[in-house]
Every structure is written in structure tokens, then in C-alpha cells.
Structure 1
Amino acid sequence: MAKKFEKLEKYAKETIEESQLPKTLPLIPLRNGMVVFPHTVVPIHVAREKSLEALEKSLENYQQFIFITTQKDPKIEDPTFEQINSVGTISRILQVARMPDGSYRVLIEGLQRARAYEVVETEPMIVKLEILTTKYKFTKKLEALVRSVMENFSKYASYTQRYSQETLSAVAEIDDPDKLADFIASLLFVPFEKRQALLEEVHPTKRLEMLLEILSHENEILELENELNNKVRKKIEESQKEYFLREKLKAISEELGEKNPEVAELRKKIEQTALPEYVRQKAIMELERLEKTPPYSAEATVIRTYLDWILNLPWNTTTEDNEDMTKARKVLEASHYGLEEAKERILEFLAVRKRSKSVRAPILCLVGPPGVGKTSLGKAVADALNRKFVRMSLGGLRDEAEIKGHRRTYVGAMPGRIIQLIRTAQTKNPVMLLDEIDKLAISFQGDPAAALLEVLDPEQNKEFVDHYLEIPFDLSQVLFITTANTTHTIPPALLDRMEVIELGSYTEEEKIVIAKDYILPKIMKEMSVSPDQLKIDKKVIRKVISDYTKEAGVRQLTRNLEKLVRKVVLQLEEGAEKVEIKPKDLSKYLGVERFYNELVLSEPEVGAVNGLAWTEYGGTVLIVEALLMPGKGQLILTGRLGEVMKESARIALSVARAFCGEKYKEIFEQNDLHINLPEGAVPKDGPSAGVTMATAIISCVTARKVRNDVAMTGELTLRGRVLAVGGIKEKILAAYRNGIKKVLIPKANEKELVKIPQQVLKKLEIVLVETIDQVVEEACL
């Protein structure tokens, strides 16, 4: 076969008429994605045995004519007739050259489109052909298509930069639309499927339309690529320019005797900034390290950041305190109603500060239920003192580094939140509010409460050392105010460093004043509602408080008033000129009443007692139930009681048995006693329910009814003595809110009655008890 191929060197091109083309030819299927178009000369690679045989047949029997088409699936080694595309190109072999690997490189000229429709022989494949004749008229539309295709190809060529000037000139010289379409199609770098579709389209007009669509799409993509490449190139050029300028600046600085202009600038800033001497020495030492460090190293970045923190902290900057006591009192009164103890303590500090500048700021801890104004009071204190105000929430904080910062050896190290807040305030004597200090958490990352010991200790915070700064910062002039719902979750060592100020629940009268004079005017101002457009009677506010809220603070009350004003705004926008709300209209605005002013127990009952409990959200009334049932004298407790309450229940049972005596001995021995606190899903614990449980047991055993307008609190000893309990104010206010008439409290708590508002004491009968006998006498009928 090789010898036969050697005879063929090169055939001169000559024009071949369609009638001269044979209708039966050997077939070579291509599988490398190449498509041979008419009017083009291209090289193909022939290596497969059957293709070589077809090539040999062409040279021997078919005057160098051969049919070239493509495989549908390039992975098939020996395709059948059904696995090739039927439309291909009748071509003429111009040159054959043998390659070192035994394959042949064949130069062919595409002559005419044809469709194979029948196989004559299979070894090699010889097929019968239908020649696809091109017939068209040269119209204006075709002329426009030619111009558009030429223009788009020119743009395509400029983007790709793949074509020589000779190729572009050859395209420009073609005046036949059919030949032009085939020639440009052969030059495009597009997927095989699109090239095959162009080959199968016989009419030049449709083929040019397909080409125009392909070129337009490719040009859009190439234009976007070009834009992206230009952007990248521009960034690289800017980076190189910046590097060149930095190197030039460095060379100039060295000529002038300055080793590093950045170091010189920082040295100047250190000299001009008012710093304590020990801070200045530390800054100079770090600056000398920076001078010896390569400017683009990670260590240099760390040192620069550290120096930035040092130079931007207010080491000696303070704000001047307001010394006008009258003005300070007015500011506190204007922002909050009540809270007399907290306001008085702030004014005391201001008065002492006015006389002695050396006095240290106190560490105040505002303790009270949610919604009583603890956080907003901190902002009011800052306004009264004319100091900057910063706030940090400690709820759920579990990382010690949040307080004292990270060591500089860690990646991404930064100072703790205390130093960050000082920098934010830009003064060393701000009012710093540490919110929710009772909700700190402990984890493997350390104990934040322990980290706060140094911050909140007046003896230590004068030289507070942040792990990042590694130099002392004076926090003694910072007025720290912490807030908490309860103190029992605050570590004792931390609590010992703070001055606790308790903020109790608001009474109904206080809530009315707060709503009328503080909350409602603020809401109306925010929603642009004037007093002439909305009139809300005092009775309406009272009904909102009694029927729609049951809380220690005023947060829910605020939400309800906001809802009320929003609905009024809607009415005003829909055409109303003035809206007046009356108590009977409230259900239209706020929906059905959520709470009712009725007793917890609707009537006197046997074995059911109103007990008073304290929670971190304020006081509440709980019903304690007792029930006897046949058994062996066992005690059953339900209601998710904690260990302390379980012990109280056992003590209460012993006290009740002693109180009832021999007369009721058999009842205790022959019956089980079940004590229940409803709302079993809510955990309950604390030493204040002994009196209530003992009364319920005695009532159940003796069948004496307990008054439904009486509530009680207190703990018992085995001797029947009533012990003092905590949260008296919150418990009495809870009884007042729930319509209780008589409250039994331990006599040991008598001194705490001074904290109860007079309007509450006037409406409640407070009975001081010392023994269980007095409790039973007052509570049972």
C-alpha cells in the first residue's frame, strides 16, 4: 500500500463540473471533530485500516475522489453506516505523506456536498451518493447577510488573533455567497455539532443566517473575555507600578538618610501623641522591631496593627463631668419614673465627685425583672453625668478572650471588648454598661466571670492589663453599670465587687404614670401623631395594664400601646381627622382580653392555697394543691419541683402531722398525700413554699376550706416556726396585681415593707406571722 501511495505526490487544482463527480465513492469517516467544507483545502490524518483501504481504492479506481464525512460518536473504532453522518463532502486527494508512526497525512480539497444513502461494499465502505446542488438568487437580503457576516467575522478575527493577514485577504476577495459561507465556516473554532449543521444546510442564505447567529454569540463572549482580561492586566500593571514607586520611594528615603518612611511617620506620631511614659517606651520598642522587619512580612503587619491600637487609645483623654446637681436630677427624672434608689446613688456619686476628684467610680449592679428600665437607666446616667456611653452584652458570653483579649501570638489576635469599647468612646471615663451579667457561661475557652474580676475590682482596675496590649490601662475612672435579673447566678466573688441596687416591679399606678407621661408621648412622636389627633383616656391605659398585660416591667405595655397607635395611624391615613379611644373600644384595637381581674381561686376550697413565688421575671401567684387518697402514708410530689422544694414538702408534712395531732393520725397513716403545683412544665424551686404546702395539707386533712382572697409565703422549721424569705416586694406586688386582699408574710420580713408603695399597702391587708398556728388561723375558715 505504501508503494502505491508513493506514486501520488501532488495534483494540480482544476475546475471539476458537477457532472464529472462520481456517484459512488469510498468513504472515510472522521472522528476528531473536523468537518470538511466544499471550496476548502484541508489536511486530514488517516490511520485506521479501513480508512487506509478506502484511500487506496480512491487512488486506484476512483481518480483520487473520495467521500469525507464524520462519525456521530468519536469513541467508536469501527463505525457502521448508521453510526456516521450521511451528509458529507465529495473531496479530491491532492497529496499523501507517510508519517513516522505508520499513519498518513492526506491533503484534500472539498468539492461538493453530498448525501450517502446506500452502502455498496463494506470492506472498505463504498457508498452511493446524492449530490446536493446549491441553487439561489442574489437578493438584497443575501447581500446584507454577506456584509453582516463579513463584518462580524472581521470582529471575530480581531478578538481571537488566530488568522494571518493572507487568510483575511482571501476572505475579503470571495464574492460568491456560497463559497464565502463555506470558507468562513471552515475557519471558525466552534463545537463539532454547529460545524456539521452548517455543512448540512444547502441553501447559502440560511447558512449565512446560521453563521451570523454563531458569530454574534461568539463575539459577545469574546468581548466579555476581553474586558475581563483588560481588567486583570490593568490590576497587574497597577500592582507593578505601586511596587516600582515603593522601591523608588525607598531608594529616595535611603539617599536622604531615612531607612523607612513609614517608621519615620510612626515615630513622629508617637512623639506628638500624649502618652504615659511606660506606653511611650513600649511603642518605641515595637517601632524599633518594625524597623528591622521586612516591610511586607506578616510580623510587620502585626506590629503596625499593635502600634495603631496603642496610638489610638485615650490614655489621657477624659470628658468633663456635669457638676450641676439640679440639671443631673432633671435628666434622670425626665427619662425614668420611680427607681428612686438608683437615681439617688448616682446623684451621691456626682456630689462626692464634685468635692473630690480622686474618688473612684462605683461598680453598680442594677438587679430587677425584665422591662423595668435597667438598660435605659444606664444611658440616662451617662446623659446626667455628660459622659460618653458604651454598652456590652454579656448574655451567653463564654470566651475569656472577649474580656481580656487574645495573645498577639495568635492569628487574628485583637484586644478584648473592654479595650475596644474604650477606643470607641475615645475617653477613659465613659459610662460602660455590662448587660446581663447573670447570664455569663463557662466553657473550655475559659471563665469570663473570672476575667471580669480584674475589670470590676476598684482595687485592681487602675492597672487593667489586656492580653493583647500587655501594658496596664487605667479603668478606675470608668463608671461601670451592670444589669441582671437575679443575683444567685452571679459568682459570689464577682458579686462581692459590685454595689447591688434592686429595681422592683412597678405597681399599676406607676405603670399608668409611665405610660401616660413617658411611653405614649415617645410613641406618638416616633409615629408623627399629634395630641390633637389622638385622645387616650387614663381609664383606657388602666384597662390595657389590667386586662392585656401581667408583667413586672412595662415592655409588654409598650408593645400594646404601639399596636394601639399604629391602628390609629391607619385610621388617620384613611381620612379620620381625630380619634378618641374609650375603654369599651379596646377589644377592637387589641383583640380579646388576655387577662382578667379575678382571684386566682374563684372560691374557698379544701386543699388549695394561693402561694406567692419569686422568679427572675418578677413575682407570681401559684396554687398549691393537696389531695388525700387511700394508701400507706406515702408522699407524692408533682409539678417539676426542685430538691429544695421537695425538702420543704417533707418538712411541711411533718409540721402538718404535728399540728393535727393524734386525732388525725389514722388519716395520715391510711392515706397517701399528693401535693401538686400546676403548670408542671415549668421548673419550680426555692425555699419559700413551706408555709403554703403545710396549709394545704392541714386543710386537706381537717377538711377546712382555705380563703380564696388570701395568699402567703414563708418557710417552716420542724418546730412550726415561720422563717424569712426573699423577694417580698415582688411577691406582694404580684398579689396586688392578681386581686388578693390579704397577704401572710413572715414577721422577720417586716422591715422590707418600707419598700412597698403606699397605694399598695392601703389596698392589701399585710399579716405578719411567726408560727403555723397563726397561718392556719388567718387562712382557713
Structure 2
Amino acid sequence: MSEKTDKPNTHLPDTLPVCPVRGSVIYPSMVMPIDAGRPISIRAIDAALTQERVILIVSQRDKEVEEPGADDLYEVGTACNVLRMRKNADGSVQMLVQAFARVRVQQYRKADGYLQASVVRLPEVEGKDTEVRALFREVKERFENLLREGKYLSPEVAQFVLNLEDPSQLADYIAFHLEFKLEDKQQILATPSVVDRLKRVAILLDAELDLMETQRRIQQQVKEEIDKNQREFYLREQMKAIQRELHGEEGEVEVEEFREKIAALKLPQNVLSEVERELSRFARMHPDSAEASVVRTYLDWITNLPWNTRTEDQIDLKEAQRILEEDHYGLEKVKDRVLEYLAVRKLKLERQKNGEIPLEEVSKGPILLFVGPPGVGKTSIARSIAKSLGRKYHRISLGGARDESDIRGHRRTYIGAMPGRIIQGMRQAGSKNPVILLDEVDKLGVSYQGDPAAALLELLDPAQNKEFTDHYLGVPFDMSEVLFICTANFPQNIPGPLFDRMELIEFTSYIEQEKLEIAKRYLLPRQLAENGLKENQVVITEAALMRLITHYTREAGVRNLEREIGTLLRKAARTILESGKKRVRITDADLEKYLGPARYQPESEARTPQVGVATGMFYTPVGGDIMFIEVSVMPGKGNLILTGQLGEVMKESARAALSYAKKNASRFGIPLEKFDNSDVHIHVPAGAVPKEGPSAGIAITSALVSALAEIPVRNDVAMTGEITLTGRVLPIGGVKEKVLGARRAGIREVILPKQNQPDLSDIPANLRQNLKFHFAESLDEVLDWTLVGGLAALERKAIPPTPKKARRSKVQPAARA
């Protein structure tokens, strides 16, 4: 701040620096603050301070001109003393000036980046005293009339003007404070005569009074022309306006409520700036407008998301194990993985408390993928995991989702836009670290609206989901603390990049013994309660439950089993009411009466060894079983006939078996001409059921060699394994289900590939009892165990090699002498 030390003087130098102003005129005796931001003005002020602190204030003709020249400025301005000056941080200048003289510019010229003007003072021309007094009184009276007519001026300014006694000042101050045109104000400044100035101001006041009178007259005419209906309409409009005003107050309250909620959320800075921008827009809108409704909904979503709300993990391994065991029978691998996750998290928390690792490392959760057939407990185990962790749980079904917006939401430019299912799930969970189950991820569809599986890539990547951005929100939301669990029936249907982000945990189908335990522990008590029965009113024997499992259901899980138990209990409830019995006992013999004849008859072993019939084993998602491979050799032309709805891989196994048999024909006692003069027909019964896979290779080979060599195959041996042309036996999958299916069919000896020997550990020891296992590395070993008499029977039929005939040497006759 620059301070002036001596009193303001009225000395007028011949040359003054020029400060152009836009849209206003300053008159003598006025003290005014002036803000200068243009370089031309700032340099002029600096020049004035270095000289006599006198500056010329001149109005621009066109206020849009940034660099005014001589032609852009009026010829009459005001000489002012610079009382104070202060420079701001942004380079602009504020100064306080006191005007003391009207001056006329004789010449403008540029000097050092600012304008200078050669000036002369305009003399103050007094008029006749009586005329001046009359005009003074007339002007003041008209000014008072203008104020009475409703022209608004602040009371302090109006009273100051009315108290003025100097006619010249009265004219100047009225011209300054009223909204006259710039040209009119400039003309008053350029008029040296007091009388002429007062006359000019009087004319302008008359024009202003006439304008206000005309407005009043028009309003009166319009009001008189409104009839009764129009008045009612006018009143209705007034009511609407009043309601809008009231709603405006409510809108201010709503804005304040949003502001308080946003402040309490402690949002990240990048999110906060976007939300505050939307809130500022909302505050400027009318509450009833359509756009305000859109922004209100957006702010409502933002303020109801759990940005910093989380639940504390209850990491007690023993309690978690108890909950998992209580809710589910079996599923040991899954339970072990959950307990491992809890153990790792507990160790991380301890290290975080000691300051060894940051909190972000603790928050990261794995992406678990539960794969298995329907009904084996994939969905329910996820709920138990949330329960054991003490976290919120939310399930999102993705089956059939075909639109990317289902995952990421719609942009707010669309009508009816909403966030995607993920953000909706977070809001419903009400926690930043819930357990979210993404159900049926293998059943996502693809359409022209986008690929929802691709939209999941960012969400399910632990390195990226810290800044998951929903299209509707438009700001990142931290999903790194969420424990995602996905379920699928067929993992091959999941896109590779998405599958790569998940940790696979396989759910196998339940065996009969597991289904029996599940039925006794969970299904039967639940169905008793759902059907209004007490615990002891209906008793289903263990034998009845086992027969229900084997002969009335065929599934991997237990859903149909629970339905059949429910059917039995409903029929028992009816029996109790109709017969008056207090207790009903259902045995295996009663099942046909209640449920009808058995729907499924498990395959049983063949009664006797047969030529060309081998027992194979197969796996389906609903369990394992045995199947018979039948081979018939008949006269023909060397054709291979395959029937039974065999898939391409199974057909290739049959061709490989035939090639192996041809190659070893002499060793097995099979004449080679038999292949040329016979047709080989391979058939797998249950022709309506498609069959696929390489694991029937050794069974096809055994049946083929048996039919060609006419040696029976043992009926008490079941086998599975893939073959090669050289006679090697390769590993297969589904060993547990296949072995249990063979055991159920009465098989006592099982042939498995040597490399599948470790898979037997998945089968409980009590179920492996009374079963004899052979582990084969070559087809010779397989044939030795499957054919009646083994390889010895084949060797007895072996065709000896044809001996080579000795060549006769031609004896040359002796030469005659």
C-alpha cells in the first residue's frame, strides 16, 4: 500500500498519465476506488506515483476494447489525486482517487507503454443566482419524486444526495448514481456550466419519470383487461409461484443435508471434487426440474455408498471351523482353503499392527472360483464363509447377463440410468469389505451391447480393482477389500483372461454315503419343519434314504433328494391326519407305495464272462457308473462300424484299438486275413445317450481283442484308461466317481492307469475295502487281467512265424578239356 503524506492538491500539471475506465464516469469532488488490471492502466498509475500523484481518468467509448487508443477515449475526463495504491498478488492494482477538476484533452500520445494526455482545465461557469437556485430546487424535487415512484437507491446514498447544498455537486452526484446512458453521463461531465448541467439532469429525470409512469399505466391496463377466468388463471399461477418459493426453501435444506452427508463421508480428493461440482449444480437448479431429479438421484447414490464403512473380521480359526462343519458335510478341500485364507489374514493383521506392512496389503482379497455340478453347495458355502468371517454377504446372479451395463452401469446421459449390479450390491451390503458371490459366471452372454465378461476383468483383478469405475458414478470406488467368490458349472465356458484372475476350487459330486449323511443331518430336519411336522412324527429309515438316493434320484448334488424327501413327508402328513396315527415310519419297502416304481436302476455287473463284451467305467456330473462295450466280428470287407452315439474322441479310441490289434495280430493268434474279410462292429448300449472321451480306450481294446481272438472277457473287472498306438495306458479324470460307480454295480476288481494311483486318496478308506485295484502302464498288462486266462491264453493261440525256405544253388557244369 502506497500512502500519500500531504493533503490532496488541486494543482493541474500540463501532461497527465491516462487511466482508461470502462462503463463509468467520475465527477469532481468524488472519492472512488478503482481496480486496474490492464498493463496500460498499471503503467499509467506507476507513472503518476513517480510524478505528482495526479492521474487522468477517462471513459472508453467501447468498453470491449482492451488496448484503447486516442480514438477510443472521450475528449473530456477527470483529473484525480491518487490517495492510496495497493498491488495485489495477481499483479492487479487497487487505488483510491479523489477527483478535483474537469479537464479537456488536447492531445493523446503514447509513452513507455501507457497513454499521456496534454490537458487544460474546464472552468466552472456559474449562472444567475436565481436561475441556479430554481433549477437546484426543481432537480431535487424531481429526484425525490423518482424515489417515491419506486426507483431504488440505498437509503444512505439517497439521503446523502438530498442533503447536498452545492448545485454543481447535486447534478454530478445524481448523474453518477442513476442508471443513465454512458453518453448522457459523459455529456454532463463535459458541460462546464452549472445551469446547463442542472437542466440536462432535469431532462433526464423527467425521462425516467415518464418511463416509470408508462410502465405503471401499461400494468394498470393489463390488469383491467383481465376477466374473471384470467384472474383465476393468474391466481393459480401465483399459487404455483408461492409453492415454488416454498420448495426453494426445502431445496436449500436438501442441499445442506447433502453437504453434511458428503462432509461426513471423508471422500478421496478426486471423488470429492466431482461430487462438490455436482452439488453446486444442484444448488443452482429449480427443485422441480428434470435435471435436478437426475442430480438428486446421483447424490443420493454417492451418499449411500459405504466409502469408509467396513466390518471387522472375526478371525477365530476354531470358531470358523465350527461354523463350516456345522453348515456343510464334506467339502474338506473348500473348508481347508477358507481356513488357510483366515490364517493368512490373521498373520497379516498382526504384522500390520507392528508396522511391518501397510494396510493395503492386508485388504487385498483373493478371487475364489467354485466349480462343480449343480446342487453340491457352491452357493451355500459362500454364505457360510461370510458368516465365519463376520462380514456382510451379497449374492449377484450373472446367469444370462448380456449387457456390459449390467456390470458397469449406464452413463447418466441416458434416461433411467442406474449403477451396475456391483455398485448396487455394495450399497445393499452396506460395507466396504463384504463377501460378494458372483453366481454362474460361466453363463454370461455376449450381445451387441457389449461383453459383460470383459467388464469383469477390472473388477476381478486385485491389481486394478482399487479404482473400479462405474459408468454411472463416474468416479473410482475401491473394491480391493471385497472377498469375491465366483461359481460355475463349466469352467471351459469362462473366457481365458477372466479365468486367469481366479483361484480354482473344484467341487466334486457327492457320493451315496455323503448324500445319506446330508439327508439325515440337514435335509430331513429342514423338510420336517417346512411341512409342519414334529421331529418324531415321521421316521424315515436309513435303508429307505439310501434306496431313495440310488433308485429315485440321479444327481451330483442333493436338490432332487430334498424334493423327494419333501414328497414323502407330505404324504406322511396326510396319512397322519386321515388315519389319526401319531407316528409314521417309512421303510425302503414303502417307497414304491408313496413314490411309485423306482426311476433309475443302477447298472450291475455281467452275469458271466462273454466274448467281445468288456466292462468300462464312465463319469458324469451326476456321478459315475459302468457301461458295457460290445464288439461283434462278422463276414465283410474290413469295415469298422461304430454305433451308440459316440463322440469324435471315442471314435478315435476305437480306431486306435483296431490298429493296435492289427499290429499285434500274430502275437494274439488272430489271422491277418480276418481283418480283410470281416467287418468289426463296436457298439455301446444306451444308444440315445451321447458318449465322449478317451477313457474307454482300454475297455474297447479288451472287447476288440476278445472278439477277434474269441477269448471271453472277465465279467467282474471294470476298467478305464486312454490308450496309444504303441500300447501305453495314459491317465484319465473322475477316478473317484468311476470307482464308486463300479463298486455300486458289484464290481470287485478295477483297472486304472498307473499315473492315477494318487487319486485313490480322494476315496474314503472304508469305501476302498473289498475292492482290488490294478494299475496298468501297458495294454499287455490290461489284457492279462481282463481276458479269461490272461496273456497265456493268447500266447497259446499265437501264430508261429513262417520259416524262410532255403534257396537252391545252381551248380555250374564242369568245363570240358
Q: TM-score range by the shorter chain?
A: 0.5 to 0.7
Check 1:469–1:736 CA distance in 2 against 1; reply closer, same or farther (3 A cut): farther
**1:530 shift after superposition:** 2.1
What is the aligned length? 541
Question: CA contact under 8 A between 2:509 and 2:621: conserved in structure 1?
Answer: no
CA contact (8 A) 1:485 1:616 kept: no
Q: What letter is aligned with 1:438?
A: D
The one-character-per-residue Cα deviations of 1:190-226 (angstroms, maximum 9, x if unpaired) are xxxxxxxxxxxxxxxxxxxxxxxxxxxxxxxxxxxxx
The CA distance in 2 between the partners of 1:518 and 1:239, in whole Å, is: 68
Alignment of 1:247 with 2:244, yes or no, is: yes
Query: Are residues 1:645 and 2:650 paired?
Result: yes
Q: Which moved more, 1:617-626 or 1:666-675?
A: 617-626
Residue identity opposite 1:247 in structure 2:
R
| Superposition map of 1:333-412 within 5 A | 333-357=325-349, 358=362, 360-412=364-416
1:148-163 matches, within 5 Å, as: none
Matched, 1:270 2:275: no
* Change in 2 beyond 3 A, CA 1:723/1:281: same
Task: Check 1:250–1:387 CA distance in 2 against 1; reply closer, same or farther (3 A cut).
Answer: closer
Deviation at 1:769, TM superposition (A): 0.9
Distance in 1 (alpha carbons) for counterparts of 2:286 and 2:689: 63
* 1:535-568 Cα shifts (integer Å, max 9, x gaps): 2322222222233233332222212211111111
Amino acid at match of 2:585: E
Letter in 1 for 2:369: C
Say which of 602, 605, 613 aligns to 2:610: 605
- Indicate how the Cα distance of structure 1 residues 298 and 374 shifts in structure 2: closer, same or farther if over 3 A, else same: same
CA–CA separation in structure 1 for the residues paired with 2:398 and 2:249: 52
Give the alignment of 1:732-747 within 5 angstroms: 732-747=739-754
| Cα distance change on mapping 1:464 and 1:659 into 2, 3 Å | farther
Asked if 1:303 corresponds to 2:295, the answer is: yes
Q: CA deviation at 1:587?
A: 1.8
CA deviation after TM superposition for structure 1 residue 336, in Å: 0.6
Paired residue for 1:585? 590
Distance 1:403 1:596, change over 3 A: same
CA change 1:300–1:772 in 2 (3 A) is same
**AA paired with 1:666?**
E
In the TM superposition, what is the alpha-carbon distance from 1:297 to its structure 2 partner? 4.5
Answer whether contact 2:248 2:286 (CA < 8 A) is retained.
no
| Aligned-pair CA distance for 1:577 | 0.9
Structure 2 residue aligned with 1:622: 627
Partner residue of 1:529? Answer: 533
| SS of residue matched to 1:664 | coil
Partner Cα separation in structure 2 for residue 334 and residue 763 of structure 1: 32
User: Normalising by the residue count of structure 2, what TM-score does the alignment of the two structures yield?
Assistant: 0.62
Offset, 1:684: 3.0
Residue 656 of structure 1: aligned partner: 661
CA distance in 1, matches of 2:368, 2:771: 33
Q: Does 1:595 align with 2:574?
A: no
State the AA in 1 paired with 2:278.
Answer: E
Name which of structure 1's ranges 295-304 and 392-401 shifts more when overlaid on structure 2. Answer: 295-304
SS of 1:672 mapped into structure 2? strand
**Equivalent in the alignment of 2:780:** 773
| 2:434 paired with 1:426 | no
Shift of 1:667: 2.0
Q: Is the 8 A contact 1:456 1:497 kept in 2?
A: yes
CA-to-aligned-CA distance 1:389-448 (integer Å, 9 cap, x gap) = 111222232222222222333333222211111111111211111222222333333222
Alpha-carbon distance in 2 for matches of 1:546, 1:415 = 47
The question of whether the paired residues in 2 share the 8 Å contact of 1:744 and 1:767 is answered with: yes
Residue 760 of structure 1 and its aligned partner are, at CA, apart by 1.9
Q: Which runs of 5+ in 2 are unaligned?
A: 1-232, 350-361, 789-817
* Structure number, greater radius of gyration: 2
For residues 481 and 681 of structure 2, what CA distance do their matches in structure 1 show?
A: 58
Q: Quick one: distance in 2 between partners of 1:678 and 1:446?
A: 44
TM-score by length of 1: 0.65
Distance in 2 of aligned mates of 1:436 and 1:445: 20
Distance 1:434 1:697, change over 3 A: same
- Partner residue of 1:81? none
Distance 1:451 1:675, change over 3 A: farther
Q: 1:691 aligns with which of 690, 695, 698?
A: 698
What amino acid is the match of 1:375?
T
Counterpart contact for 1:627–1:673, Cα < 8 Å? yes
Would you say 1:682 and 2:686 are equivalent positions?
no
Query: Is the partner of 1:730 in helix, strand or coil?
Result: helix
The 8 Å contact of residues 634 and 678 in structure 2, kept in 1 or not, is answered as yes
Is the Cα contact below 8 Å between 2:633 and 2:707 reproduced in 1?
yes
- The residue type paired with residue 292 of structure 2 is A
Contact 1:630 1:670 in 2 (8 A): yes
What is the one-letter code of the residue matched to 2:591? Answer: L
- Contact 1:690–1:714 under 8 Å retained in 2: yes
Equivalents in 1 of 2:468, 2:624: separation in Å?
A: 39
Give the match's secondary structure for 1:660. Answer: coil
Q: Match of 1:453?
A: 457
Give, in whole Å, the separation in 1 of the partners of 2:506 and 2:371. 5
1:604/1:305 CA distance change after superposition, 3 Å = farther
C-alpha change, 1:486 and 1:703, in structure 2 (3 Å) is: farther
Question: What residue identity is the alignment partner of 2:323?
Answer: V
Alpha-carbon separation, structure 2, partners of 1:426 and 1:240:
44
Q: Structure 1 residues 284, 712: CA separation in 2 closer, same or farther (over 3 Å shift)? A: same
Structure 2 match to 1:12? none
- Answer yes or no: is the 8 Å Cα contact 2:363–2:480 preserved in 1: no
Q: 1:463 to 1:639 in 2, by over 3 A?
A: farther
**What letter is aligned with 1:458?**
P
Deviation, structure 1 residue 377: 1.1
Residue 597 of structure 1, CA deviation: 5.3
Alignment equivalent of 1:330, drawn from 290, 300, 322: 322
- 2:306: which partner in 1? 314
Which residue of the other structure, out of 539, 542, 553, is the alignment partner of 2:543? 539
The CA deviation string for residues 144-173 of structure 1, in whole angstroms up to 9 with x for no partner, is xxxxxxxxxxxxxxxxxxxxxxxxxxxxxx
Runs of 4+ in 1 over 6 A off after TM superposition: 236-242
Measured at CA, do residues 481 and 585 of structure 1 come closer, stay the same or move farther in structure 2, by a change above 3 Å? same
Alignment match, 2:729: 722
Match in the other structure for 2:638: 633
Q: Give the whole-Å Cα distance in 1 for the aligned partners of 2:409 and 2:719.
A: 49
- Paired letter, 1:536: I
Q: Tell me how far apart the structure 2 counterparts of residues 412 and 659 of structure 1 sit (CA, whole Å).
A: 73
Report deviation, 1:338: 0.9
2:398–2:443 contact (8 Å) kept in structure 1: yes
Code of the residue aligned with 2:689 in structure 1: it is: V
- Looking at structure 1, the residues matched to 396 and 363 of structure 2 have their Cα atoms a distance apart, in angstroms, of 25
> For the residues of structure 2 that align with 1:667 and 1:733, how far apart are their CA atoms?
39
Corresponding residue for 1:548?
552
